[in-house]
């Protein structure tokens, strides 16, 4: 009698429970595992031997995982100590766990590599399912979670833009998640599905942020059309590499920064004398079921199923990587990525995806990103002169 | 040959274009108006004689109004001067406009009353369609726009709560719109559709906010379950009536306040040493088509149609009021509200809707509000012990 275990790591996405569903259903269909456990509370849950058996759930109830945000089994960010890997290997032995799937970001994939090594020779397979909102995991075209975070931001910016353009004289700054990588911020460019839609300016953390260039960009748009919609990454840094937002205060060793969007809106008010506001959807952007990308959800489920399949075949120390198919139309295949390569580098936007002035993205980014957002947005009603992008 | 005109005023909602659709379709069905105009840019548009003729639109295209946020024709907040009413009456005469519908909040209903008076004896009917996100319009059970803003916040808080409860030790403060009235903030209580769901603490502007009581509430929850989800109105004031958020800076006569949610999150970090973050969806909450309430949209469309009907019958100086039907089940009837009564008072939450401690709402509020949010939220997958509301 042997069992399969799924463990979550790091922050959740809109589709991490989709990967969980895929893995559980694949394990059920395979029939080999006696129990299909989820660790309650990530690796902390493993160390405390807290498990939930998904075999007790009917299919109908399991399907609700597809529309549940957050992590249904709980996750953890607690760093593992050196002895913890051996401890977990012993817990696996104690509970007859032979197949282990870790679903998380860079840090969790690194944990996955170390755990696979600690389980070498013990007959335990350890496979990683990537998860991200930032799209910063290397060795994969993209990872589950990003497409939905991107769709959420693009859809939300698209709607906010309609609202802002209803009234004259207005600047709005929307803050996007992603402290080091601008993938989500960049996805806001896809808010523009028809002429006149979408944001005016995008600032990503890969380019040094200049207050002067920003104010100049906003001032020009304000003069031309009386408004500007700006999307800014929460992680903008200036030319020296320091965060653009002054620290709010220090608690111990941790510095707490204010919100980039609020800071930029205040800059506009103070320096240009123009009415401006800021929006920071924050966590809503990674918890939104309404704006899940159907493509992302499908890939998340399939990646979870693939991980279970590979573990049950005896593969270990690999992550389910997504490789984009070449040729007409969009599609992905799953490829095993050797985790011993080292997973702790964060992948940023390539330079060719950001425009020269550093306030927008290129069409090659849009072409790469568009399929990941899933189905087209519903059409809006626009008066004829809106097509030119002018304010009403 | 006589024409009908629709004018938007103030900020948009998720369903103001629904009222526009209802009015246009009713006017088309009636057949009397030769042209069905929308003023491009609110009363500013009227004064500049900028109109769009909806008779040029096919039905299929008009239907996209139902899924378009913002104001499709544009709105205005510019205060009207004394001579403007006579100017508009003259413009109506010039363009053969005999029926005028104004769709907006308190200020616009006041304008509607004044315009009706200025048009007395000229054979022009002026009727108001209420619009709000704050639910602050008097003499009506609720107004179109509120149900969707309420649904958006409840749904978003519900999702954010799942995310927050995925990881241990976390406080999250979500900011709700509504500077003077706590109706939207209160609606977040409906985020809890099953046991263990929903926010922990709600702070509305109708009750003086106490830093000490807030920190005590949060500290207790943190001790009990390691986390707290707080929803706070953007307009919280202390016992002296001053805004809780210190002014950021002054520009001329305007004082700019920071965000309440950011301020409260920083308080928690600094005073309790607990990790906390803030989310401020802001405009997304009134622009979201994904979270439109089906009840709200239906009522918005019907209210627009009713206004057109009454104007075409020759009624003037009235607003379409919504009266809740008594007896089993939920329903509304439309009643004409005499605008000369004075529309500039803002309606706040009755005291019986807020709990004694001032950190939540009562079941009688939930019973009043629930039907306005429309269909139930999709079920989430919860592990059995979540039903007790304990953190994972």
Comparing alpha-carbon positions, the chain B residue that sits nearest to A50 is: B392
Q: Are residues A243 and A307 in the same domain?
A: no
**Any bridge partners for residue B103, and if so which?**
B8, B129
Position A9 in a domain:
yes
Q: Which residues 348-387 of chain A have a CB within 8 Å of chain B? A: 378-383
Choice among B84, B110, B134, B217 that is catalytic: B134
What does the pLDDT read at residue A354? Answer: 97
Coil, strand or helix: which one is A81? coil
Mean pLDDT to the nearest integer, A225-233: 94
Position B379 in a domain:
no
Q: Which positions in chain A touch B52 (Cβ < 8 Å)?
A: 383
pTM comes to 0.94
pLDDT tens readout for residues A276-310 = 999 999 989 999 999 999 999 999 999 999 999 99
> Is 80 exceeded by the pLDDT of residue A386?
no
What does the pLDDT read at residue A389? Answer: 36
Q: Which positions in chain B touch A8 (Cβ < 8 Å)?
A: 166
Q: Are residues B238 and B157 in the same domain?
A: yes
What does the pLDDT read at residue B343? Answer: 80
Q: How confident is the model at residue A387 (pLDDT cuts 50, 70, 90)?
A: very low
What does the pLDDT read at residue B1? Answer: 87
Position B78 in a domain:
yes
d(CA A112, CA A84): 13
Q: Are residues B15 and B54 in the same domain?
A: yes
**Any bridge partners for residue A40, and if so which?**
none
What does the pLDDT read at residue B328? Answer: 83
Q: How confident is the model at residue B252 (pLDDT cuts 50, 70, 90)?
A: low
Position B14 in a domain:
yes
Q: How confident is the model at residue B386 (pLDDT cuts 50, 70, 90)?
A: low
Q: What is the average pLDDT value for chain A, to the nearest integer?
A: 93
pLDDT tens readout for residues A251-281 = 666 667 778 999 999 999 999 998 899 999 9
Lowest mean pLDDT among A129-133, A255-259, A383-387, B25-29: A383-387
Would you say B373 and B154 are in contact if contact means Cβ atoms under 8 Å apart?
A: yes
Alpha helix stretches (DSSP H) within B126-227? 146-164, 183-187, 211-225
Cβ pair B76:A52 closer than 8 A:
no
Cβ pair A76:B287 closer than 8 A:
no
Q: Are residues A191 and A297 in the same domain?
A: no
Mean pLDDT to the nearest integer, A100-107: 96
Mean pLDDT to the nearest integer, B260-286: 92
Cβ pair B156:A284 closer than 8 A:
yes
Comparing alpha-carbon positions, the chain B residue that sits nearest to A280 is: B280
> Is 60 exceeded by the pLDDT of residue B219?
yes
Position A105 in a domain:
yes
> Is 60 exceeded by the pLDDT of residue B260?
yes
Q: Are residues A116 and A180 in the same domain?
A: no
Nearest 10 degrees: Cα torsion B24, B27, B28, B31:
-170
> Is 90 exceeded by the pLDDT of residue B86?
yes
Mean pLDDT to the nearest integer, B162-173: 88
What does the pLDDT read at residue A392? Answer: 36
pLDDT tens readout for residues A119-172 = 999 999 999 999 999 898 999 999 999 999 999 999 999 999 999 999 876 899
**CATH code of the domain in which B74 resides:** 3.40.50.450
Position B355 in a domain:
yes
What does the pLDDT read at residue B38? Answer: 98
Which of B329, B245, B293, B342 lies closest to B66 in space, CA to CA? B293
Cβ pair A277:B283 closer than 8 A:
yes
Q: Are residues A116 and A162 in the same domain?
A: no
Mean pLDDT to the nearest integer, B280-294: 93
Choice among A84, A110, A134, A296 that is catalytic: A134
> Is 50 exceeded by the pLDDT of residue B107?
yes
Q: How confident is the model at residue B251 (pLDDT cuts 50, 70, 90)?
A: low
Mean pLDDT to the nearest integer, B112-124: 95
Last residue of a domain, one of B299, B320, B341: B341
Q: Which helix (DSSP H) or strand (DSSP E) does residue A365 occupy?
A: helix A363-369
**Any bridge partners for residue A4, and if so which?**
A36, A99
% of chain A at pLDDT higher than 70: 96
Q: How confident is the model at residue B178 (pLDDT cuts 50, 70, 90)?
A: confident
Cβ pair B163:A74 closer than 8 A:
no
Q: What is the average pLDDT value for chain B, to the nearest integer?
A: 93
Mean pLDDT to the nearest integer, A91-104: 98
> Is 60 exceeded by the pLDDT of residue A205?
yes
Comparing alpha-carbon positions, the chain B residue that sits nearest to A10 is: B167
Q: Are residues B197 and B227 in the same domain?
A: yes
Mean pLDDT to the nearest integer, B279-303: 95
- Pick from A41, A283, A380: which is nearest to B160 by CB? A283
Cβ pair A12:B163 closer than 8 A:
yes
ipTM: 0.92
Q: Are residues A7 and A82 in the same domain?
A: yes
Would you say B13 and B133 are in contact if contact means Cβ atoms under 8 Å apart?
A: yes
d(CA B63, CA B83): 37
- Pick from B73, B168, B378: which is nearest to A383 by CB? B73
Position A390 in a domain:
no
Q: Are residues A218 and A356 in the same domain?
A: yes
Mean pLDDT to the nearest integer, A203-210: 97
| DSSP conformational letter for B280 | B
Instruction: Please list, in sequence order, all residues whose beta carbon lies within 8 angstroms of the beta carbon of residue B31, skipping any fewer than 6 positions away.
Output: none
pLDDT tens readout for residues A1-37 = 899 999 999 999 999 999 999 999 999 999 999 999 9
Would you say A22 and A66 are in contact if contact means Cβ atoms under 8 Å apart?
A: no
Mean pLDDT to the nearest integer, A90-113: 97
% of chain A at pLDDT higher than 90: 82
**CATH code of the domain in which B281 resides:** 3.40.50.460
% of chain B at pLDDT higher than 90: 82
Within 13 Å, how many C-alpha atoms sit on residue A4's CB side?
A: 30
What does the pLDDT read at residue A59? Answer: 85
Number of domains in chain A: 2
Chain A contact for B29 (CB, 8 A cutoff) = no
pLDDT tens readout for residues A230-251 = 999 999 999 999 999 977 766 6
Cβ pair A383:B168 closer than 8 A:
no
Q: Which residues 182-241 of chain B have a CB within 8 Å of chain A? A: none
Q: Are residues A247 and A310 in the same domain?
A: no
**Percent composition of chain B: helix, strand, coil (DSSP 3-state, to 5):** 40, 20, 40
Chain A contact for B74 (CB, 8 A cutoff) = yes
What does the pLDDT read at residue B390? Answer: 35
Q: How confident is the model at residue A388 (pLDDT cuts 50, 70, 90)?
A: very low
Q: Are residues A261 and A331 in the same domain?
A: no
Coil, strand or helix: which one is B265? helix
**Any bridge partners for residue A98, and if so which?**
none
Position B366 in a domain:
yes
Q: Are residues A32 and A130 in the same domain?
A: yes
pLDDT tens readout for residues A47-58 = 999 999 999 998
Mean pLDDT to the nearest integer, A62-78: 95
Mean pLDDT to the nearest integer, B289-306: 97
What does the pLDDT read at residue A390? Answer: 35
Instruction: Please list, in sequence order, all residues whose beta carbon lies within 8 angstroms of the beta carbon of residue A8, skipping any fewer than 6 positions away.
Output: A16, A20, A38, A39, A42, A71, A73, A74, A75, A76, A103, A104, B166
Cβ pair A70:B162 closer than 8 A:
yes
- Is B338 annotated as catalytic? no
Domain extent for A185: 146-288+349-374
């Amino acid at each position: 009698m042997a069992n399969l275990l799924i463990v979550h790591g790091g922050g959740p996405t809109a589709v991490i429970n989709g990967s969980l569903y895929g893995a559980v259903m694949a394990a059920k269909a395979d029939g080999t595992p006696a129990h299909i456990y989820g660790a309650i509370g990530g690796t902390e849950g493993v160390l405390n031997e807290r498990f939930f058996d998904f075999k007790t759930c009917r299919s109908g109830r399991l399907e609700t995982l597809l529309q549940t945000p957050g992590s249904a089994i709980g996750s953890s960010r607690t760093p593992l100590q050196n002895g913890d890997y051996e401890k977990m290997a012993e817990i696996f032995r104690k509970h007859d766990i032979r197949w282990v799937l870790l679903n998380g970001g860079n840090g969790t994939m690194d944990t996955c590599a170390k755990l696979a090594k600690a389980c070498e020779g013990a007959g335990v397979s350890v496979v990683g399912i990537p998860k991200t909102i930032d799209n910063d995991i290397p060795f994969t075209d993209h990872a589950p979670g990003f497409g939905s975070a991107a769709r959420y931001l693009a859809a939300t910016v698209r709607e906010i833009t309609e609202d802002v353009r209803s009234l004259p004289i207005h600047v709005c700054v929307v803050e996007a998640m992603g402290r080091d990588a601008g993938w989500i911020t960049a996805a806001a460019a896809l808010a523009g599905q028809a002429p006149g839609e979408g944001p005016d300016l995008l600032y990503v953390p890969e380019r040094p942020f200049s207050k002067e260039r920003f104010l100049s960009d906003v001032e020009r748009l304000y003069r031309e059309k009386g408004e500007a919609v700006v999307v800014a990454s929460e992680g903008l840094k200036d030319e020296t590499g320091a965060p653009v937002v002054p620290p709010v205060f220090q608690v111990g060793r941790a510095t707490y920064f204010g919100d980039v969007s609020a800071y930029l809106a205040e800059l506009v008010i103070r320096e240009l004398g123009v009415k401006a506001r800021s929006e920071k959807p924050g966590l809503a952007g990674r918890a939104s079921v309404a704006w899940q990308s159907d493509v992302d959800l499908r890939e998340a489920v399939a990646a979870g199923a693939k991980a279970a399949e590979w573990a049950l075949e005896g593969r270990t120390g690999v992550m389910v990587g997504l490789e984009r198919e070449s040729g007409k139309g969009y599609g992905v295949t799953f490829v095993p990525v050797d985790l011993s390569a080292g997973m702790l580098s964060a992948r940023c936007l390539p330079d060719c995806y950001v425009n020269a002035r550093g306030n927008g993205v290129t069409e090659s980014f849009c072409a790469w990103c568009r399929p990941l957002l899933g189905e087209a947005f519903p059409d809006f009603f626009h008066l004829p002169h809106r097509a030119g992008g002018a304010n009403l």
